[in-house]
Structure 1
Amino acid sequence: MRRIELTPRPDWRSRLDAVGFSFYDLESEGGRPYWNESAAYVFTMPEIELLEQATTELFARCMEAVEFVVRQGRFDEFGIPERFHELVRASWDDDDPTVYGRFDLAYDGAGTVTLLEFNADTPTSLVETAAAQWQWLEEQTAAGSLPVGADQFNGLHELLIEQWEHIRTARWGLAPGARLHLASLHDTGDGELIVEDFDTVAYMAETAAAAGFDPKLIFMEDVSWSVDDNVFLDGDDEPIRRIFKLYPWEWMLAEQFGGFLPASRGATQWVEPAWKLLLSNKQLLVVLWELFPGHPNLLPAFATPDALAGRAHVAKPRLGREGANVRLVDASGGVIASAPGAYGDEGFVFQERARFAPIPGKTAVIGSWIVGETPAGIDLRETSGPITGDLAEFVPHYIDPDQPDPADRDPDDSDPQPPHPHPTEETS
């Protein structure tokens, strides 16, 4: 894994618009655009296979963790109110289908991949991963800016269509043309459309349509409850029977209409399902380490910092997003970096710090996507600091067909990089 500099396409903004990715100019570090194609990350095929294997393994362990929590009834540790315990249990026992998720991974550049967290309920960076960076790969390869035969770990688009079709036919038994609502939050109170969420849901609607659904885009603000019919309605008073939402379950549980969720079971199918409450919460990291201590893809994680005394670690709010309220603590217990935010009242988990590849001046976090149970591709977000937050930049990647596997390199060859990866940490 290495980072190289490249010349951006002269018309990159209009090209990204063409694939439905319009929020590329969101401000990142230093006022730069969120999308950064002045650089790229380069991988060998063995490295990609390593990431793919780690993703498969982590998903399997996460499924075991959910089964364990449900059977043990340990919902309180995840902050799930008692009145919703049965909702989560029934969702898991009924095998409510999942479409996707994104693991945030640390790769040390020397063969070790570790889990930072699982964005299992409302992962973003979907359209830029599936569509934008693939378009970039094709056009930069055609222009001669990338090696002939350059590839990308990116089957996200095709796998999403396959998974939606599987859900429509094998799971829900629906004929082509079945209605699927897709919802996001319109705004945060200022009336301004949240473009990132809207573009993401619009892209998901495109994949669902290709799988035979009749998609209808709505906003969560317009969802209401029919007392007479015991069903959720959209803004046109159409019953919502099946809905994909880019809206966190924990927000739904805390809102006025949350109390109707148990009553809607059987009338409304939610994607992602309610059992994802157990995976999108960083308490999952503690349970995983309890069940699989010493696992090579896991970092030690605990509900209190005591077990990590004398070791560099990270305090993460259980429901935090985009690095908010994360604290990095050194081996002596001093806070060496922190991020502001509105999270933390729900409690923290404490995780040993991860090691990353020695990319000069950058912390590069790998987002590894899973669709159904299949690893589907990766994206990379980078920052100059140790906490990856909402100012991180998205950088495309490719697989170099001519780059040798680092494991095969002559140990006597000179290496300008430090021999050991530096420790750093992120959360998103």
Structure 2
Amino acid sequence: MIPSIIRKSSVIFIRTYTKYISFRKHPKLFYSRNSTSTSIMLKSARQVVPFNKVQGVASTNVHAYSNGDDDFFSVERHYLHGIFMGFKWQCVEFARRWLLMRKSCIFQPVGHAADMWHDLKFVERVTDGKKFPLKLFPNGSSHKPKRDSLLIYSRSTELPFGHVAVICDIVPNFIRIAEQNFIYHSWSDNYAREIPIVIKDNCYFLEDEDEICGWIEIEDNDELQPLDETKLDSILKKYQEAKPIGTLKRCSITDKTFHSMNNWLNKDDPAEKYFMDLFGANLIRADTDTLPYYKVDQDLTLSIGSTSNELHEMFMDATNYVIQNDDILKNFCIPEIFWPKIRESWLHERDLAMTGRFDLAFDGQQLKTFEYNADSASALFEMAIIQEKWAQAVKLNHTFMSSFQLHRLLVKSWKKICSNLNINYVHLLIDNDKDEILTALYMQNVLKNANIESKLCILFNNLYWKDSKIIDNDGNEVKLIWKTWMWETIFSDYLQAEQNGNLNRKINNEHPRLCEIVLNDHIKVIEPLWKVIPSNKAILPILWSMFPNHPHLLCTEWTLTDNLKQRGYVKKPIVGRCGHNVTLFNASGDSVLDETQGKFIDRNIIYQELFLLPKYEDYYAIIGSWIVHGLFAGFGIREDKKLITDAESPVTACSVVWK
């Protein structure tokens, strides 16, 4: 059983299900008035606006942003001028932001959108604290709806927490409303949709497909004016708040009866069976005699989510900058023969990105990024599946685990990518490595859940040339691959084949080379070629130059500066994996704190500011925060007694306590 967040409108509802259940089983209907009649249009007939993009603009300057769909929770707070609005991009967030921008007011926090009908008594003006009472008019009231009122929906099966919209206009026989997180098409006018007004016995009924409680008006509404954003110092400090960072704590299960359990995994599941073959069937880890786990609160969860989304956009900006500048791109030590193909990939394959993982450090006060593993899926299975299985086995009291959306968003992203490409068969191309096999077996499960067929290709021994195409031993043409191979390995294979004259021979029944598969113009690749830029640590000095002193970045330079020596620094190869060939120096730079060996000793070096982690019961914890298809999807924790985490550092369960 995998934790899911089921939410609609303003809030989240967290439960555990054997499968995710969507509340909306049918396309959402909305109304559009023309000169002669009301036409009912299907939501599915219009293109869905992606998450974080503007759907429309209401009341001159209040943007409505898309949440993408009904089953996504961004795990990201939104503040405007220091005032908490709500979660991106829920309906209550829009209502609070509209009131602030159009009326200079806010209302107190509410649990759910439906609660506004009973719990809200007034709004407060943020410039002087004056309270303006609210008047409630139930649907079917003799009082005609007015502009600038809040429209409140009841709880229902479709809307378990209700919904709130803003009445932005009244026209004959209709009201016009603006809203978020209800329908996801773009709207060009100043409203999202129209709702018919029906007059019965001199009473006004608003007829929508979902039940409406009524509308809320502000007394003395004419006294309220839009917020003057040129005079933000007029906002009272009591309405502004700093973003809380949150807490992280290491805990242990003390009940010894759980230590010898060996039936907590499913032996009939290939990935779980392989995990047992690698690590055994017991709950207890080999390096400890306890059952450790980490506990984070909702504030840290939200901080990790917003930090990860912000960092991803920054890395994408830096990637774009690098790709457009030859002098900068040279620092990445990528042979120039591949530059045109990288640029083409960036232009045309942006949406083929599936996963990336930030290594984040948390010292109790700050979140800093060490690097972006943009071309790696290491530990995906452990974080997405194993930690939840573990939590259930030990009967951990938790709201949900830290990777609560990861599996579901992987399934969703595969469906979207394959649908856009019109491909329903994926070849998983991996080395004969135990960690890669585990990850690939899990990815096959994800694909199966997405109703996409797949084939696991270890060292591509079951792939062949046939009539200048690459097929597998079942006769399926290779059109879309998911790989674990490093792009640098593929580049080396290409250059070696070119030097030996063994490139693109395309002889029937012969095995293709690695580079002939992955660099093939007729085969799409996940992760795409442009990912070689953000995954290269040469991007870290670029980021520091573009966003100097950013609170989530560490000072990183091409050369060892006196400033870095004084702070302490880390020496890293620009290309590497699993913490190989990393050295940590103390402040003054005269003592090595920790170092690792590896096969990346001949790579160019960058120097990054040292950021020491606190110890949790003799362990150092690194947060692995996942980006799926461009958005934060959850996180996990790796811990180790040494300062540098690597592939052997165990993934440790992390629960989220949501109050």
Name which structure has the greater RCO, CA cutoff 8 Å, separation 6+: 1
Which secondary structure state, in structure 2, belongs to the residue aligned with residue 370 of structure 1? strand
Residues 1:84 and 2:331 aligned together:
no
Residues 1:374 and 2:631 aligned together:
yes
Q: Which residue in 1 is equivalent to 2:601?
A: 344
Q: Does the 8 A contact of 2:570 with 2:582 survive in 1?
A: yes
Residues 1:99 and 2:337 aligned together:
no
Q: 1:235 to 1:349 in 2, by over 3 A?
A: farther
Q: 1:54 to 1:223 in 2, by over 3 A?
A: farther
Q: Which residue in 1 is equivalent to 2:568?
A: 312
Q: 1:44 aligns with which of 289, 292, 297?
A: 297
Q: 1:137 to 1:167 in 2, by over 3 A?
A: same
Which secondary structure state, in structure 2, belongs to the residue aligned with residue 387 of structure 1? coil
Measure, in 1, the Cα distance between the counterparts of 2:534 and 2:422.
27
1:269 deviates by 0.3
Q: Which residue in 2 is equivalent to 1:417?
A: none
Q: Does the 8 A contact of 2:624 with 2:635 survive in 1?
A: yes
1:89 deviates by 0.7
Measure, in 2, the Cα distance between the counterparts of 1:65 and 1:179.
33
1:344 deviates by 2.3
1:86 deviates by 0.9
Alignment of 1:83-162 (within 5 A): 83-96=337-350, 97-110=352-365, 112-140=366-394, 143=395, 145-146=396-397, 149=399, 151-162=401-412
Instruction: Provide Cα deviations, 1:301-357, integer angstroms capped at 9, x if missing partner.
Output: 111112523220100111122221111112222223211112121211110012434
Q: 1:16 aligns with which of 246, 261, 265?
A: 265
Measure, in 1, the Cα distance between the counterparts of 2:452 and 2:368.
37
Measure, in 2, the Cα distance between the counterparts of 1:173 and 1:36.
50
Measure, in 2, the Cα distance between the counterparts of 1:216 and 1:351.
40
1:37 deviates by 7.2
Q: 1:11 to 1:361 in 2, by over 3 A?
A: closer
Q: 1:69 aligns with which of 322, 343, 349?
A: 322
1:377 deviates by 1.0
Q: Does the 8 A contact of 1:109 with 1:358 survive in 2?
A: no
Q: Which residue in 1 is equivalent to 2:49?
A: none
Residues 1:282 and 2:537 aligned together:
yes
Measure, in 2, the Cα distance between the counterparts of 1:87 and 1:316.
27
Measure, in 2, the Cα distance between the counterparts of 1:259 and 1:199.
23
Q: Does the 8 A contact of 2:285 with 2:291 survive in 1?
A: no
Pick which of 374-383 and 7-16 moved more. 7-16
AA paired with 1:165? K
Which secondary structure state, in structure 2, belongs to the residue aligned with residue 16 of structure 1? coil
AA paired with 2:301? I
Kindly, what percent of the aligned residue pairs are identical? Answer: 28
Alignment of 1:268-417 (within 5 A): 268-306=523-561, 308-334=564-590, 335-401=592-658
Q: Which residue in 2 is equivalent to 1:241?
A: 479
Instruction: Provide Cα deviations, 1:220-273, integer angstroms capped at 9, x if missing partner.
Output: 3427674951x44445664311100111111111113466469622x0001000
Q: Does the 8 A contact of 2:349 with 2:528 survive in 1?
A: no
1:23 deviates by 3.6
Q: Does the 8 A contact of 2:377 with 2:439 survive in 1?
A: no
Alignment of 1:227-266 (within 5 A): 229=468, 231-234=469-472, 238-255=476-493, 256=497, 257=513, 260=516, 264-265=520-521
Instruction: Provide Cα deviations, 1:132-153, integer angstroms capped at 9, x if missing partner.
Output: 111222343xx3x425x45544
Residues 1:209 and 2:448 aligned together:
yes
Measure, in 2, the Cα distance between the counterparts of 1:127 and 1:400.
22
Q: 1:184 to 1:138 in 2, by over 3 A?
A: same
AA paired with 1:179? Y
AA paired with 1:264? N
Pick which of 35-44 and 113-122 moved more. 35-44
AA paired with 2:308? T
Measure, in 1, the Cα distance between the counterparts of 2:417 and 2:288.
32
Q: Which residue in 1 is equivalent to 2:165?
A: none
Measure, in 1, the Cα distance between the counterparts of 2:536 and 2:290.
32
Q: 1:286 to 1:225 in 2, by over 3 A?
A: farther
Q: Which residue in 2 is equivalent to 1:199?
A: 438
Which secondary structure state, in structure 2, belongs to the residue aligned with residue 354 of structure 1? coil
AA paired with 2:620? T
C-alpha RMSD of the superposition: 2.5
1:286 deviates by 1.4
Q: Which residue in 2 is equivalent to 1:183?
A: 429
1:129 deviates by 0.7
1:389 deviates by 2.1
Q: Does the 8 A contact of 1:103 with 1:368 survive in 2?
A: yes
Q: Which residue in 2 is equivalent to 1:5?
A: 252
Measure, in 2, the Cα distance between the counterparts of 1:223 and 1:304.
46
Measure, in 2, the Cα distance between the counterparts of 1:105 and 1:12.
32
Measure, in 2, the Cα distance between the counterparts of 1:11 and 1:32.
11
TM-score by length of 2: 0.54
The structure where strand makes up a greater share of residues is 2
1:195 deviates by 2.5
Q: Which runs of 5+ in 2 are unaligned?
A: 1-247, 498-512
Measure, in 2, the Cα distance between the counterparts of 1:164 and 1:39.
33
1:102 deviates by 0.8
Residues 1:166 and 2:416 aligned together:
yes
Q: Does the 8 A contact of 1:99 with 1:372 survive in 2?
A: yes
Measure, in 2, the Cα distance between the counterparts of 1:345 and 1:15.
44
- The structure with more radius of gyration: 2
AA paired with 1:392? S
Measure, in 1, the Cα distance between the counterparts of 2:568 and 2:578.
21
Measure, in 2, the Cα distance between the counterparts of 1:122 and 1:386.
21
1:292 deviates by 0.8
AA paired with 1:196? D
Q: Does the 8 A contact of 2:360 with 2:625 survive in 1?
A: yes
Name the count of aligned residue pairs: 381
AA paired with 1:5? S
Measure, in 1, the Cα distance between the counterparts of 2:470 and 2:439.
23
Q: Which residue in 1 is equivalent to 2:234?
A: none
Measure, in 1, the Cα distance between the counterparts of 2:570 and 2:401.
35
